[in-house]
Structure 1
Amino acid sequence: MPSPSGQHGKITTLHIVIVALSLTMTLGAWLYSKHQLDEQIENRFVADKNRTIGLIADRMSRYEDALWSGVAHVAARQEDTTLEDWRLFSDTLNLEEKYPGVNGIGVIHYVEREDLPEFMALRAAEPREFSIFPDHEHPFLLPITFIEPVSMNGAAVGLDVAHETNRRTALLASRDTGQARITGPIVLVQDSGRTAGFLFYAPFYTGSEPTTLEDRRAQFAGVVYAPFIVRRLVEGLLAKDLRNVHFSIRDEAEVIYNEHNPDDALYDADPMFQETVELDMYGRVWTVDIRTNLAFRAANGSEQPTLILAGGLVIETLVILMLAMLAKSTRFAHDYAHRLTRELREKTEKLEHANAEIEQFVYIASHDLKTPVRGIGFLTDVIEEDLTELIGPLDKHSGLKSQFDMIRQRLNRMNDLTQGIMEYSRVGHLGSVTQTQVPLEALLKDCVSDFNLDPAQVQLTSDVDAITCDAQSFRRVLENLLSNAIRYHPDPDAAQVTVTIHDELDQLRVSVRDNGKGISPEHHEKIFEVFQTLRRSTDPESTGIGLSIVRRAVQRHGFEIKVISSEGNGTEFVFQWPKEHGQSEHQTEKAA
């Protein structure tokens, strides 16, 4: 009869199964780790890419703001803008510090040939020599009248941009659309290096604001413009050696900027990631080719997946040897499986802890951003008061008044964004769920009061009288849905919102329906994404966070929210809500 120890010393089918499963877990851990690492690295590239694209778009937007402030200045002066006026205005912009990358800012006048003597008489009265060049046969002229700083742009004074198709076409497009436009690639006359550049135009008109193409052409007086050398524009964004990506910019077939130089110390001949992005840039399409460089490769190289695989294979070898040598292999296999389970649990807990820290960081960062926003708002008020004392009421200075209004609008939007991010991050864990009962009628009454509505605009039909589970989150969900229904209604005074709640045994089915303009089906998923909004230019400002908060609050209870809508037929949001706290936890665990 075999001894028990002999039986224990054999490699049984159970042992083989355990080893196979353990090997599978090792491979699974390796694949999971590799997938997670690859995903993290790709997310870093996406972040770097979005940052680069965002910097380009934001910088051009700031330049556009400067042009429109110049348009406001010219409009305020009408036809009385002088050389000295423009020099003083340019000095207030502080171009070198606030708008790095811009070569200057100037005025181009539209002059019919029969009006040329009068135009030249005005220029002759100025303390400088002025002539228009080169000659051409077009029935109108577009001379650069003023350009500051003249020290670095003097060669461009008097240049008639009508002589060249590229410059002329973009300027006339700006005239006809009433919007800012840029030229295709050109070489600036003031650029001794003869590198790629372009001109940025913003039109101004005589009389009242034109509304039709015919009016714009009839009232067109010229443009405020800024010349750019693309190389300097990019250098003003972010130093190349501080970025983990290099990029090139192509306007149609012409490359106007290129960092993909094999002689560059950070050039990567086989980049880890590469993506091409098309930007609609003021009437032109810029194709941006973004590639990772050696700095990105160095910062994102990791041997962790390989170490996990190698370590796992070593462990498997040891397991097989120990199974052959030790009689008590079952206990070893049990301990080994238990150890792996504990390690996986610890990794999971670390990930949960890291996610909690990230949410806390987002909340704190958003909260801290409110302080400089309030400081900027206070400083704006002080500056406006000081200017009022110096030059009188700003209502008489439409250009300054519009610029202060623009600052306050953007401060309000920044404040709304930070507040939305704080609320989004505070849609926390189920541990914060309370069991306080909140009467539905009182809740709706508060909302009607908060949004200054007629009580008849909001109707409630409910199988229950109060919300018990997580009433605070339910209030936030209802407030956001009601706010959207009223804010984006074509006629808020005619808005009608119906809230219907059905008792479905262990949960509630909630419907919020309005009679607004509706949402096209292709946008039903987009509206729930953070910072996404379908807002038109005439609609109220929106942070794009409200519906994200709604979805997150519903999902943390284990449910989903859906939208039923089409254009012109109103919108209905439908979701489930738990009746009790324990049932909410059960739903979340089931969803997980």
Structure 2
Amino acid sequence: MKRAQWQQMTIPPLVNSRISILHVLVVALSMALTFSAWHFSKKQAESRIEQRFDASRDHIVGLLRDRMLKYEDALWAGVAAMESHDGDMTRAQWRTFATHLRIDEKYPGINGIGVIHFLSDQSLNTYLGQRRSEQPNFNIFPPHDHPTYMPISFIEPEEINAAAVGLDVAHELNRRTAALASRDTGDAQITGPIVLVQDAGAMPGFLFYAPFYRGGVPTELGDRQNRIDGVVYAPFVVRKLLDGLLAKDLRHTSISISDAGQTIYDEHSSAEELHDPAPMFTEEVQLNFYGRSWTLDIRSNLAFRENNSYVQPTVILVGGIVIEALILSLLIMMARANRNAVAYADKVTEDLRIEQQKLVRSNEELERYAYAASHDLKTPIRGIGGLTEMLKEDLEDYLSSPDANPEIAMSLDLILDRVQRMTDLTNGIIEFSRVGAQSEDGSPLDLSELMTSLASDFGLASHQVELNSSVNTVSVDPVGLRRAIENLVGNAVKYHEAVADLRILITCQKTSDFLQFSIADNGPGIDKKYHDRIFEMFQTLRTGDAPESTGIGLAVVKKAVEVHGGEVKLISSIGAGARFFFQWPKDPKSDVAQGARVAA
């Protein structure tokens, strides 16, 4: 088709002047899908956050149990040491044992480790003689009416626990009850809440006992009561225990502990830095061990709230709304642009020259508008795709789990598919708009090098793309020519069922004013009734199982050729491959090439 003929053609509208009911229905259904995905994602986020709180709760309880087991091991190590000396270790020997135990390093939170002996009136004087031989000022205190004496013989480190040496734990109910329970059961026991005599801060604490006996471990209750020699014990201030066990800056929960209704540790005060007055989660856990029942009140704090917001569902909702808004805006802009073009065409004058100039100018403005709109859409589209990819990465563990709901992955993939579709469309519109928009002479196009590049770009073997040409290079708009040939070769690759069997023959012959190009392939062919349709914008013959296409590639070829005064023709039928012909100016100084440059 000659250039003058192309200029006189009536441009068909790209879309109807109104947005159709089908378009509205598609947007409405898409919005419904977006809100469904948001609602489901919100529920999943809430479930994941609750699971994180449960994991934090279990971690706290597990740490507390494990630490108490570790302390118990230290007590039994002391029992073994006492039994190895027949229950008669000296103060110096106990100090040696405690030093090698390295309680400051291995048992953070513990106040010390010591020995309590069980005494009767008959054994009291002998015991005092032994203790005063090591500590002349040793005394048992305070006096009480209980028949059994249970003085603390020694404790290490003694410097911080000196006030406890000689204390008779039988004087006070909680200390005595737990010691007797340890004697009778043969197991480790802890006391109810007490205040340690060596603690100047008078903070809640407890004692931890493990019994040792004369002549080995008895199996009967009566033997245990008669042969008890004493207990190895450790004093604890609860706050020091928790500080050593559960550093606040390493967890996102606060806890309080109560024993028999008495609070022995509390982080729920409003004075706490991370206190949450309305915690997202709270739970009470009963911890039964060593003869006591502790109630742990575990609550999420501000750090938990900050790290477990509902951002992801909101991103899905906002991303979906933005995509729908972009699609709707594009439809509205295209409909409005089309109405403007039709209204403008209705006002043309009888002067054919002016009519042609106005029509060309209108087309150029529309193409620039399409280019600008498509280019401006690329940034938000990339942003939406990036956000969706981040969501998929964040949800990777969940989506790969057996409990994952497949609809989430489907929804995310649907968003990515739409983003890719929008990207392909905008790139295609930009490419179409660039054709003829500027002079693109550049360096002459070497056809042999082009064949090598085409094979590499489309993953073909060198023998699959063959050149038969009477010319070596083309100087007229080499960029536009390359674009046209690449689109035709890409079309052949895309629709060939077995790419390994694809053969493409490119020929170029000189005529008087043009170079006559032919691109032939051995693909599935094209039905003759579609030969005109395939060159229109957004038209594709894609079937359900065929590759995705924007329907712009052949429109780009047609425009690139017609800008240079040529015409594209197709010879093809179903099952017989396809052969495209077009003309291209051969001389940069020719009238045809100069006319194309002016049009650009």
Which TM class, normalised by the smaller chain length?
0.5 to 0.7
Determine the C-alpha separation between the residues in 2 that align with 1:348 and 1:6.
36
Query: C-alpha offsets along residues 402-423 of structure 1, whole Å, 9 cap, x if unaligned?
Result: xxxxxxxxxxxxxxxxxxxxxx
Distance change in 2, residues 1:195/1:348 (3 Å): closer
- Show the 5 A alignment for 1:210-249: 210-249=218-257
Amino acid at match of 1:66: A
Contact 2:282 2:299 in 1 (8 A): yes
Query: C-alpha offsets along residues 327-365 of structure 1, whole Å, 9 cap, x if unaligned?
Result: 79xxxxxxxxxx9x9999968975786579999xxxxxx
Partner of residue 203 from structure 1, selected from 188, 208, 211: 211
Query: C-alpha offsets along residues 128-158 of structure 1, whole Å, 9 cap, x if unaligned?
Result: 3211111111111111111111111111111
- Show the 5 A alignment for 1:414-425: none
Structure 1 unmatched ranges of 5 or more? 329-338, 360-592
- Structure 2 equivalent of residue 515 of structure 1: none
Contact 1:171 1:181 in 2 (8 A): yes
Partner of residue 261 from structure 2, selected from 238, 253, 271: 253
Contact 2:42 2:310 in 1 (8 A): no
CA RMSD of aligned residues (A): 3.5
Amino acid at match of 1:57: R
Contact 1:9 1:325 in 2 (8 A): no
Q: CA deviation at 1:278?
A: 1.5
The answer to whether 1:101 aligns with 2:109 is: yes
Determine the C-alpha separation between the residues in 1 that align with 2:280 and 2:263.
23
Distance change in 2, residues 1:258/1:349 (3 Å): closer
Determine the C-alpha separation between the residues in 2 that align with 1:321 and 1:348.
26
The answer to whether 1:62 aligns with 2:67 is: no
Amino acid at match of 1:39: S
Query: C-alpha offsets along residues 23-52 of structure 1, whole Å, 9 cap, x if unaligned?
Result: 121112212332333233323322322222
Q: CA deviation at 1:229?
A: 0.6
Contact 2:312 2:391 in 1 (8 A): no
Query: C-alpha offsets along residues 462-482 of structure 1, whole Å, 9 cap, x if unaligned?
Result: xxxxxxxxxxxxxxxxxxxxx
Provide TM-score, normalisation by structure 1.
Answer: 0.54
Partner of residue 182 from structure 1, selected from 169, 172, 190: 190
Determine the C-alpha separation between the residues in 2 that align with 1:34 and 1:101.
41
Contact 2:285 2:297 in 1 (8 A): yes
- Structure 2 equivalent of residue 298 of structure 1: 306
Determine the C-alpha separation between the residues in 1 that align with 2:266 and 2:281.
17
- Structure 1 equivalent of residue 93 of structure 2: 85
Larger Rg: 2
The answer to whether 1:50 aligns with 2:96 is: no
- Structure 2 equivalent of residue 157 of structure 1: 165
Query: C-alpha offsets along residues 151-173 of structure 1, whole Å, 9 cap, x if unaligned?
Result: 11111111111111111111111
Determine the C-alpha separation between the residues in 2 that align with 1:106 and 1:247.
29
- Structure 1 equivalent of residue 283 of structure 2: 275
Query: C-alpha offsets along residues 499-553 of structure 1, whole Å, 9 cap, x if unaligned?
Result: xxxxxxxxxxxxxxxxxxxxxxxxxxxxxxxxxxxxxxxxxxxxxxxxxxxxxxx
Contact 1:155 1:189 in 2 (8 A): yes
More deviation, 151-160/43-52? 43-52
Contact 2:117 2:152 in 1 (8 A): yes
Determine the C-alpha separation between the residues in 1 that align with 2:198 and 2:226.
32
Determine the C-alpha separation between the residues in 1 that align with 2:385 and 2:324.
18
Determine the C-alpha separation between the residues in 2 that align with 1:319 and 1:352.
27
Provide TM-score, normalisation by structure 2.
Answer: 0.53
Amino acid at match of 1:160: D
More deviation, 188-197/4-13? 4-13
Partner of residue 166 from structure 1, selected from 166, 174, 186: 174
The answer to whether 1:126 aligns with 2:121 is: no
- Show the 5 A alignment for 1:345-356: 350=393
> Partner of 1:151: helix, strand, or coil?
helix
Distance change in 2, residues 1:344/1:125 (3 Å): closer
Aligned residues: 350
Amino acid at match of 1:283: G
More deviation, 255-264/69-78? 255-264
Determine the C-alpha separation between the residues in 2 that align with 1:229 and 1:25.
57
Distance change in 2, residues 1:355/1:266 (3 Å): closer
Determine the C-alpha separation between the residues in 2 that align with 1:103 and 1:308.
53
Contact 1:30 1:305 in 2 (8 A): yes
Amino acid at match of 2:319: G
Contact 1:9 1:323 in 2 (8 A): no
Contact 2:169 2:176 in 1 (8 A): yes
Distance change in 2, residues 1:244/1:6 (3 Å): closer
Q: CA deviation at 1:267?
A: 1.4
Amino acid at match of 1:141: Y
Contact 1:248 1:290 in 2 (8 A): yes
Structure 2 unmatched ranges of 5 or more? 1-11, 337-381, 403-600
Distance change in 2, residues 1:142/1:26 (3 Å): same
- Show the 5 A alignment for 1:397-546: none
- Structure 1 equivalent of residue 321 of structure 2: 313
- Structure 2 equivalent of residue 391 of structure 1: none
Distance change in 2, residues 1:5/1:176 (3 Å): same
> Partner of 2:195: helix, strand, or coil?
coil
